[in-house]
Structures are given as C-alpha cells and as structure tokens.
Amino acid sequence: MKRREFITFLGSAAIWSPLIARAQPSKRRIVVLMPEREDDADGRLSLTAFEQGLAQLGWGNGSNLHIDFRWAIDNGDKVKAVVAELQANPPDVIVASTSQTVAALLRATPTVPLVFAAIYEPVAQGFVQSLAHPGGNATGFTAMEASIGAKWLQLLSEMAPSLARVAYMCNTNNPGPLQPYPAAETAGRDHRVTVALADVHDATDIETAMTKLAREPGGGLIVPPDGFLINHRKLIIELAARDRLPAIYGLASFAVQGGLASYGIKLTAQFSQAAVYVDRILRGEKPANLPVQEPTEYALVINLKAAKELGLNIPPSVLATANDVIE
C-alpha cells in the first residue's frame, strides 16, 4: 500500500471506529428477581410485558441485552443468597418486586440502579426519600397506597353482610404487604368487624390459620399481594372454598382461579412501565431523578360462581362497579 493511501485509510478508520462502536454496543446485563415460581402464569405474563416493553425501546434479550431471570425469590434464605451473588457480580440494573428483596438490595448494593415494581409505600419503608425525588439508587412503581386495606374490608363486608371476623393473611418477614393492615383494622371497627393478623410462613401455617377462622361463623379473609402468598394461591383458594370463607384478594389471578373477588392493580402494566425506566437508566439517567409512580387504575373482579358456592348474593351496587364479572 502506498504511503498516501495508508494515511487515508488510517484517517477513515479514526473517523468510523466511534460510529462502529455506537452501532454495535456491548451487551448490557439486567437481573430480574421474581417472587413467583417459574411456571406461574402471572409471573410469565409480567415478564413477557417487560421484555416486550424493552423490545419496543430497542433492547433485545440475547442481542444487545442479557436478561437474567431469577424465580421464586420469596423467602429470607433465597433473598440472602441472590443478594450476595449480585453484590459480588453486579449487573447494570436490577428489577425486583418484593419489599424484603428491595430492602436487602439497598443495603448490599447501594450503587447498583434498582427499579422496583408493585412495592407498598416505598417512602414509609425508607426505600426512597420522596416519590417525586427518590434521591438514591432506587425508583419504580408502587403497588397501592396503604389505605387500600380499608377498601378491601369495605368490599368484603358488602359482599358478605354476616361478616364478623376477618383474618388479614400476611407473611410478616416481607414488610410490604403488612402496610395496609392498620387501615383494614380501622375500617373493621367502622363495620363492626374484628380484623386480626394471620402471620403465615409456610403451607401448614396457612391451613392452621384458615381452619381456626372457620371454627365460628362469620369468618372472612383478606389476602394482599405477596410473593409467598402467590406461590400458595391454589392452596388458599381451595381452603377458602372448603371452609366456606368469603375472601378478597389483591390480585386478579386469585379471583380468576376460583376466589370470590379481587381488587388491585395489574402487574403487567407495572412491568411494562418498569421497562421504560430500565431503558432510561441504561441510556444514562439516574434513578435518583426518576420519580416513583403510583398506579392510576384499580380493577375489581368478582367471581359469581364462587359467590354462589358460598351462598352469597352480591349486591347490584357492587356488581355495577366491577371491571370484570366471572359467571
């Protein structure tokens, strides 16, 4: 090659090499921690919504992005193990959806960007400084305000007028789902219903709590969204039917699969939104500057077949407000 041609070649390479680097970015890594088991329909739908959201923004799993899904992160031991692993090998962004997991991540990986979904009261739990200005390495999307506990109690009382005692089922190792309990307890006094916490940590605890509740008439059940309870959804629905306990759940899948009713958010919408925040972080924005967003829509689902089996006549006023009625 002649000297002049060689210099021209070098000049061209210098001009084009940054463009080539931008056109072929190195693969980024996201870790998504899910409380549901891998075969859970809700979990799969949420992650499909997340991947589709990223794809619409130019991120393809396996091309310019590697998404590492971790399933059934629903108890302290699993949280501890996965957090230690991420501490040793931090990804570009972490996505998580239980308070127990988020709290552990914030302690162990305070510099890794974290996007949370379906989290209760992140300010009260100390995850962010404020909704408008998170201020740290975490931001995301809230599940619902703590006041929803009162709405659950109200709906359950309207559907089951003979209600006298309600168990608020919760795994207290995960502090998030406990947040609406005080509101449910206060609303219970207004409706002359005693609301008590049923602290459960395994399948045996769930069966014991529901058997105890069913020993006297007038029992009912509130089941907030929680990874541990989702993974025992089938058992809870079956025991509620067996013991003829009217129950209201925080996720629609419980009503779809045979529970009496549900009132809460759509998880798929939260994961679609989480994809937008992950994209913005990967492109250089800081979680501290991305406001935490609250849900704008709640859905009431009523299962009339379950109501019939429980001997309940759902009031027309309640049916009129339902987003979905399962015949």
Report the CATH number at residue 305: 3.40.50.2300
Task: State the total domains in the chain.
Answer: 2
Cβ neighbours, 10 Å, residue 25: 11
Whole-model pTM: value is 0.86
Would you give the DSSP letter of residue 61?
B
The pLDDT, as a whole number, for residue 173 is 87
User: Is 21 inside a domain boundary?
Assistant: no
Identify whether residues 238 and 318 lie together within a single domain. yes
Token readout for 286 is 């800081």
Helix (H, G, I), strand (E, B), or coil: what is residue 48? helix
Token readout for 246 is 């009217």
Strand residue runs (E) in the chain: 28-33, 65-70, 93-96, 114-119, 138-142, 165-170, 194-199, 219-223, 247-249, 261-264, 299-303, 324-326
**Helix locations, 24-92, DSSP H:** 41-56, 76-88
User: Is 47 inside a domain boundary?
Assistant: yes
The pLDDT, as a whole number, for residue 41 is 87
User: Please, are residues 278 and 271 in contact by the beta-carbon 8 Å criterion?
Assistant: no
Token readout for 149 is 């506990």
User: Is 74 inside a domain boundary?
Assistant: yes
Token readout for 182 is 């005080």
The pLDDT, as a whole number, for residue 3 is 42
Range of the domain at 199: 148-264+299-326
Report the alpha-carbon distance of residue 215 to residue 211 in Å, rounded: 7
Report the alpha-carbon distance of residue 94 to residue 117 in Å, rounded: 11
- The label of the residue with tokens 């509130």 reads 222
Q: List 247's β-bridge partners, or say none.
A: 221
User: Is 186 inside a domain boundary?
Assistant: yes
Identify whether residues 120 and 183 lie together within a single domain. no
Q: How many helices (H) and strands (E) does the chain have?
A: 13, 12
| Per-residue confidence in pLDDT tens, the chain, 327 aa | 444 443 343 343 333 333 333 333 478 999 999 999 999 988 999 999 999 999 999 999 999 999 999 999 988 899 999 999 999 999 999 999 999 999 999 999 999 999 999 999 999 999 999 999 999 999 999 988 899 999 999 999 999 999 999 999 999 988 889 999 999 999 999 999 999 999 999 999 999 999 999 999 999 999 999 989 999 999 999 999 999 999 999 999 999 999 999 999 988 999 999 999 999 999 999 999 999 999 988 999 999 999 999 999 999 999 999 999 998
The pLDDT, as a whole number, for residue 145 is 86
Report the alpha-carbon distance of residue 55 to residue 77 in Å, rounded: 33
Q: List 326's β-bridge partners, or say none.
A: 303
User: Is 10 inside a domain boundary?
Assistant: no
- The label of the residue with tokens 């039917």 reads 241
Identify whether residues 54 and 127 lie together within a single domain. yes
User: Is 20 inside a domain boundary?
Assistant: no
Determine how β-strand 324-326 pairs with β-strand 65-70: unpaired
44 contacts: CB under 8 Å, gap ≥ 6: none
User: Is 6 inside a domain boundary?
Assistant: no
Identify whether residues 240 and 308 lie together within a single domain. yes
Identify whether residues 209 and 273 lie together within a single domain. no
Identify whether residues 116 and 228 lie together within a single domain. no
